[in-house]
A and B are shown apart, each in its own frame.
Chain A
Amino acid sequence: MKRRTFLKITGIGALSVAAGCNTRPDKALFSLVEAPDDMVTGKASWYASTCRECPAGCGILAKNREGRVIKVEGHPYHPINKGALCMRGQASVQAVYHPDRIKTPMLKEKDSFKAISFDQAQLILRVKTAAAANKGSNKVHMMTELVGENLLAIFSDTMNIWKSHPPVVFEPFAYESLKMANHKVFGLEGLVSYRMDQADLLVSFGADFLETWLSPVEYARKFKAMHAVGNGTKGAFVHVSPFQTMTGANADLWLSCKPGQESTVAFGLIHEVLASDGQKAIPENLKRELAQATLEFTPEKVIEIAGVSLENYRKLVQRILDAKHPLILATAAGSSGPASHAADIAANYLNVLLDPDLSLMDFNRRHRVEMASSRKDVHDFFNGLKNRQGDVLLLNNVNPVYALPPEIGAREVLNSENHFVITFSNFMDDTTACADLVFPTSHALESWDEYSGVTGIVSALQPAMGSLTPTWDIGDVFLMAADSVERTAENYKDYLFQQMISKEILKNDLDWLHMIQRGGIFDTLKSDETYKYSAREISAEAIKSAAVILKQQLDEPENLLIAVPSVRFFDGRSANRPWLCEAPDPLTQVAWQTPVMIHPDTLAQYNLTQRDPVRLETRSGVITALAYETENVRPGVLIMSIGQGHEGFGRYADNIGLNPLKLIPGTIDAHTGGPVFSGSVSISKNGKPQKIANTDGSRFQYDRKIALTISLSELAHKSHKDPAHGEKAGLTMWDFPMTLPLPEGYDKKRDFYPPHDHEDYRWAMVVDLDRCIGCGACAVACYAENNVGIVGLKGILEQREMSWLMIQRYLDLQQPEKVIFLPMLCQHCDNAPCESVCPVYAPHHSKEGLNNQIYNRCIGTRFCSQNCPYKVRRFNWFTWKWPNPLNLQLNPDVTVRSKGVMEKCSFCIQRIKVAHGNAKDEKREIRDGEIMPACLQTCPTGVFTFGNLMDKNSKVRQMVDDPRAYQILGYLNTKPAVIYLKKVLQEI
């Protein structure tokens, strides 16, 4: 281009821009046609409902602003989660606004889908199913995810009208082994809940109860109720497993055993417990038979077979014998093979021996996931279809093509021309792509329903917003799907009401309204339904069968790949929520990718190093994963997370990460009907080292004052405070005194800048590291609340992640199995290094002590980030995108930042302002505990405390005097307002 042409074009361009613009962009304000009762523009309405991201069924409150749900929080009065929510629950709102959500039903024509109307889809459903039913019985087949009892009843009734079997309930983790163990030992084929909070010792044979096992939010809370330090003691937790995931990383002792040999350890423990005296009310013959079955499991034998350290094993035995209320937990949700069944049986017997009343097991609060069909039934479902013709398959929100091993051939069955496949799914995924008709239904946040995660409660679902698309509730679809004898209900909501009336849960309309308002009825257990249990009735038959299983154990396989569910993706159903992909894995700190965790010895054996692509091959398939070197797994064990590696699950999940289930054989355990989540793999190097998208700078702290620990005995002798106030104070890292971010923290010998004056409030936060389990719910809640951008894999690789709060993970340099998690956020220093270097005063110190980032002043020099010792400031390298309609989730109370601007944690200033407003309205001070930042609100274990440091009676002020209190890198004299309490370690 010539210079002249260039000038012409720019001139014309400038003029046309000038002519077409003024200072005020045209915008429309849309008035409502009719004002709803429950909406005030600018104020949130909260709707109580139930989370449906996993079978646990936590209660939620959905925050609706101007007609759309912008955030989901735990329901404070719900008995399961008591206000907390995990990261998957937080991310449920992203499913509603997902840009890849299917908007209309689609019919497959040749190889592509054609959009059709909902009425047409309903008609096809009716015609196809009626035609199939006319041909004979069992011509319609249905597979559903776990749903509430009423919805399941509709499914079954409708299937009955079509002369077919009730649906198969497919949950990839159906706890077959534990269910069967409960059946054999207690005569109850179900999943009991555990009063973990009342135990003083937990021994888990792999149960990952902080991540996915049964009800992770509930058990995380209960775990910390027993495990957090209080009155100078804390409960103990021993994890017996070949590897550590997040749950194992929280153990006081990780007893590393060979894969599948948890059962041997459990048998050994029975042997030891029986050998010790003082066995209470156990029938003699039960004792005798248990002793008989475990006779050969002497410590020496256990050490030899299970490969555990003798010292640690002895410690565990001693601890169990000393404990007053020990509780033994079973194997993991994704358990590995027949041996896990033996371990589950042995764990049950251990509980009987240690506490004959089984007071820590609640047989009346049973987890609903016990309703799930066994994996054998799921495999039979597909195997049975292989030789049939002209049947109709209905799939409700399940993804068998992804979750089942390839050799089962789910994809082939669904793709074949023999059957007409209808999926009720909101997203195109591995399974939906095989469907003949895709019938999207309302999301849980848009529908009426009931789902009770445990028996004894009724937990309600209500639409927390109007639908963005004209979808129907699946209940309505099924009510209208078949010509039934007589339908009493017009729609599914009425049906629910009628059912609850007939079951005498409700008496009238008013009860219904109360139930909807409160999110459910939480005490529906009738006393005549309670299950009575007695140790006297227990037979020793099961231990014999378990002993047989143990004897059949084959030789240990070389290089066993174990696929484990993770706190981020569970079974993979939520892999397309960008927040979950962006939040790093707790233990590896890797986002977006699925690395394979390998022990350094195994890596060395195959001449591999960290970041090398490793080719993993089994009979079933091949994948190439990046090696992640870690001592948190045993040599010869390879760990990969389940959940990623989908084919066609939208822009945030399609071909992102890897699916280890592709490598797993389709074996079914003969004893339980459960699947196997492990398989022997052959390993080889496959290419040059690649970048791993990890967000941690280092795994170790190198003796710097970051995440500190204190031993229980040390704590007992420590009277008060760090090398604090006055005595022995110096200016080095370890003797620098605790300096509160208050005028009293000013020392003219040390300070260059004058003290800040605060008006009434000085906000501060106390973070109790002893309570943090590293689950990352806080980090995702922060993304949801504060419109934090998603940078994607490329962004993470370039270290451009935007998280305002991150969970840092540090390993002990000498003992890498000792892991500490640390929530790191802006410390709101009183002497903030960022404030003093900004040329334009964009970081501004507020009169309430907050470090404000003024986005519109910021010119992007990034000096502040450079000078921040905590590295919590985030720079917007780009204007991050929220593709339509994901932008509808954005919190309207928080500015969306754009390119070139620095940002960081604001202590949820928008919530502080709301509290100020409420206090002013009521002419009072802000109450202690009134302000709940998003991280604090969602934390299942109560890590965070927020409040006013100027108030001598506030909780934060009191906690500052805790002997465990310290400030991270306090010796830099930054005077942080985030005070940490040291994690308390104990020797087992």
Chain B
Amino acid sequence: MASDSIFSRIFQKIVANSVPIVSLGLAGVFTLLFLIFFYAPPGSDIGPEQPIPFSHRVHTGVKNIQCEFCHPYAGQSTFPGLPPVEKCLYCHNYIIANHPWIQKEHEYFDTKTPIPWRKVNYLPEHAFFNHQRHIKKEIECEKCHGAVETMDRLKAEPFRMEFCIECHRELKANLDCWLACHN
């Protein structure tokens, strides 16, 4: 009897407080969803979808094209540069020239429309990364960008200040705020 009454009493309590409990539960679920969406949105493990599916794995891994062929300014400027549409067609006028995605590439070229590539790696606006200086110091691209040759869709590296500082400490590089990264 006693136990029965305990269970029933608990059950009654639950029923009586169902609204707060459900709200709490829902809040928990929403928090969980928020955390998931905030830190690991769907697709984040494989990187964003691009307007034309471009595989870094195929180009660098399989075909062994050097990074600086497509990103020619990495060694001479702060920004590595993106290949102009015409550069893709240097090869793709001959290789899989009739593939529908290459046809789309032609469409961009013929209409003189820049391709809106989705930005993968993101640096806050108050941080200035200079590719040239790192390339000149012979820091490998993979050191920051990971194993690009294994990724079809390029995955973002979470560049936080810690990420930079660790390496700068290790290599005794510039740790000055303005002289190094910010201004």
Q: Which residues on A are within 8 Å of B, measured CB to CB?
A: 15, 18-19, 21-35, 40-43, 844, 846-848, 850, 852, 854-856, 893-896, 906, 909-910, 912-913, 916-917, 920-921
Docked-complex contact A912 and B114, CB < 8 angstroms: no
* B156 is an interface residue with CB less than 8 A from chain A: yes
Q: How far is the CB of A504 from chain B (nearest CB, A)?
A: 40
The answer on a CB contact under 8 Å between A18 and B114 is: no
State whether A19 touches B119 (Cβ < 8 A): no
User: CA of A424 to CA of B23 in the docked complex: distance in angstroms?
Assistant: 66
Q: How far is the CA of A115 from the CA of B86 in the complex (A)?
A: 36
Q: Contact between B30 and A15 (Cβ–Cβ < 8 Å)?
A: yes
Cβ–Cβ contact B84 & A916, under 8 A: no
Q: A21-B38, A40-B76 are in contact. Are A844 and B177 (CB under 8 A)?
A: yes
Asked whether B183 lies within 8 Å of A25 as measured between CB atoms, the reply is no
B126: chain A residues at CB < 8 Å are 855-856, 895
CA distance A906 to B179 in the complex (A): 11
Q: A18-B34, A852-B177, A895-B125 are in contact. Are A34 and B86 (CB under 8 A)?
A: yes
Cα A33 to Cα B89 with chains together (Å): 11
Q: Assuming the A-B contacts A24-B122, A893-B128, A917-B133, are A40 and B85 also in contact, with contact meaning beta carbons closer than 8 angstroms in the complex?
A: no
From 136 to 183 in chain B, residues with beta carbon under 8 angstroms from any chain A beta carbon are 136, 156, 176-179, 182-183
| A470 CB to nearest B CB, Å | 14
Is B132 in contact with A917, judged by CB distance below 8 angstroms? yes
> Which 10 A-B pairs give the minimum distances between C-beta atoms?
A42-B79, A42-B77, A42-B78, A18-B34, A30-B114, A28-B116, A27-B119, A852-B178, A35-B84, A31-B82
Contact segment of B3-11, B57-65, B93-101, B105-113:
B105-113
Distance A25 CA – B125 CA, assembled complex (angstroms): 12
Residue ID in chain A nearest B122 by CB atoms: A24
CB proximity to A under 8 Å, residues B42-63: 44
Contacts of B37 in A (CB 8 A): 18-19, 21-22
Cβ–Cβ contact B34 & A913, under 8 A: no
Partner of B182, one of A26, A35, A895, A917: A895
Closest to A36 in B: B84
In the complex, which residues of chain B have a beta carbon less than 8 angstroms from the beta carbon of A31? 82-85, 114-115, 117
| Interchain residue pairs with CB less than 8 A apart (15) | A19-B34, A28-B118, A31-B82, A31-B115, A32-B85, A40-B76, A41-B80, A42-B78, A42-B131, A844-B178, A847-B176, A893-B183, A895-B126, A909-B178, A909-B183
Query: A916 — which chain B residues lie within 8 A by C-beta?
Result: 179
Residues of B within 8 A of A895 (CB): 125-126, 182-183
Closest beta carbon of chain A to B1's beta carbon, Å: 41
A29 B119 Cβ-Cβ under 8 A = yes
| Chain A residues within 8 Å of B117, by CB | 28-31
Taken together as a complex, chains A and B put the C-alpha atoms of A846 and B183 apart, in Å, by 12
* Interface 1/0 per residue, B1-41 and A, CB below 8 Å: 00000000000000000000000000000100110011101
- B99 to nearest A CB, angstroms? 19
- Distance of A626 Cα from B95 Cα, bound (Å): 75
Contact B156 A34 (CB under 8 A): no
CA A41 to CA B130, docked complex, whole Å: 12
CB distance from A812 to the nearest CB of B (A): 39
List chain B residues, Cβ under 8 A from A26.
118-119
CA distance A31 to B84 in the complex (A): 5
Q: Which residues of A contact B86 (CB under 8 A)?
A: 33-35
Asked whether, in the complex, the Cβ of B133 is within 8 Å of the Cβ of A22, the reply is no
Whether the pair B176, A848 counts as a contact (CB closer than 8 A) is: yes
Query: Which residue of B is nearest A910, CB measured?
Result: B183
What are the residues of chain B within 8 A of A910 when measuring CB–CB? 183
Interface residues of B (CB under 8 A from A): 30, 33-34, 37-39, 41, 44, 73, 76-87, 108-109, 112-119, 122, 124-126, 128, 130-133, 136, 156, 176-179, 182-183
Instruction: Report which of A30, A35, A846, A855 forms a contact with B176, defined as CB distance below 8 A.
Output: A846
B41 CB, min distance to chain A CBs, angstroms: 5
**How many whole Å from A559's CB to the nearest CB in chain B?**
53
Name which residue of chain A comes closest to B35, CB basis.
Answer: A18
- Set of chain B residues within 8 Å of A42, measured between Cβ atoms: 73, 77-79, 81, 131
* Distance, CA A920 to CA B73, complexed state (A): 17
Q: Which residue of A lies closest to B44 (CB)?
A: A22
Given A18-B34, A43-B77, A921-B136, also A856-B85 (CB < 8 A): no
- Name B117's closest neighbour in chain A (CB-CB): A29
In the complex formed, the residue of B with least CB distance to A895 is B126
User: A846 — nearest CB in chain B belongs to which residue?
Assistant: B176
Cβ B76 vs Cβ A33 within 8 A: no
B132 neighbours in A (Cβ, 8 Å): 917
- List residues of chain A with CB within 8 A of the CB of B131: 42
Given A27-B119, A33-B85, A33-B108, decide whether A850 and B178 contact each other with a Cβ distance below 8 A: yes
- Give A916 to B133 CA distance when docked, in angstroms: 10
Instruction: Name the A residues within 8 Å of B179 (CB-CB).
Output: 846-848, 850, 909, 912-913, 916
- Separation of A40 and B71 alpha carbons in the complex (Å): 11
Complex Cα spacing A896 to B87, Å? 34
Say yes or no: B122 contacts A854, CB within 8 Å.
no
B183/A894 in contact, CB under 8 A: yes
Known: A33-B84, A35-B86. Contact between A854 and B177, CB under 8 A?
yes
Chain B, residue nearest A786 (CB): B183
Check if B38 sits within 8 Å of A18, measured CB to CB: yes
Cα distance, A848 to B136, chains bound together (Å): 22
How far apart sit A921 and B132, CA to CA, in the bound complex (Å)?
Answer: 10
Residues from chain B with Cβ under 8 Å of A847 in the complex = 176, 179
B163 CB to closest chain A CB (Å) equals 14
Give Cα A852 to B132, complex, Å.
23
Give Cα A906 to B182, complex, Å: 11
Q: Which chain A residue has the least Cβ–Cβ distance from B82?
A: A31
- List chain B residues, Cβ under 8 A from A28: 116-119
Q: Which B residue's beta carbon lies closest to that of A841?
A: B177
CB of A531, distance to nearest CB on chain B (Å) = 50
Q: Which residues of B contact A30 (CB under 8 A)?
A: 114-117
**Is B79 a contact of A920 with CB atoms below 8 Å?**
no
Are B122 and A27 touching (Cβ within 8 A)?
yes
Return A864 CB to nearest CB of chain B, in Å. 15
CB distance from A192 to the nearest CB of B (A): 47
Question: How far is A23 from B128 in the complex, measured between Cα atoms in Å?
Answer: 19
* Identity of the chain B residue whose Cβ is nearest the Cβ of A11 in the assembled complex: B27
How distant is the Cα of A29 from the Cα of B182 in the complex, in angstroms?
Answer: 22
Give the docked Cα–Cα distance between A18 and B44 (Å): 16
Q: In the complex, A29 Cα to B82 Cα: how many Å?
A: 8
Contacts of B125 in A (CB 8 A): 895-896
**Bound Cα distance A18, B81 (Å):** 33
Query: In whole angstroms, how far apart are the Cα atoms of A909 and B117 in the complex?
Result: 32
Complex-state Cα separation, A31 to B126, whole angstroms = 23
Give, as a whole number of angstroms, the nearest-CB distance from B40 to chain A.
9
Is the Cβ of A913 less than 8 Å from the Cβ of B41? no
What would 5 more interface pairs be, CB under 8 Å, given A33-B113, A852-B182? A41-B82, A846-B177, A895-B125, A896-B125, A906-B178
Set of chain B residues within 8 Å of A844, measured between Cβ atoms: 177-178
In the complex, what distance in Å separates the CA atom of A882 from the CA atom of B113? 27
Which of B113, B119, B183 counts the most A-chain CB atoms under 10 A from its CB?
Answer: B183
How far apart are the CA atoms of A442 and B145 in the complex, in Å? 43
In the complex, chain B residues whose CB is within 8 Å of the CB of A25: 122
Known: A40-B73, A856-B182. A34 touches B177 (CB 8 A): no
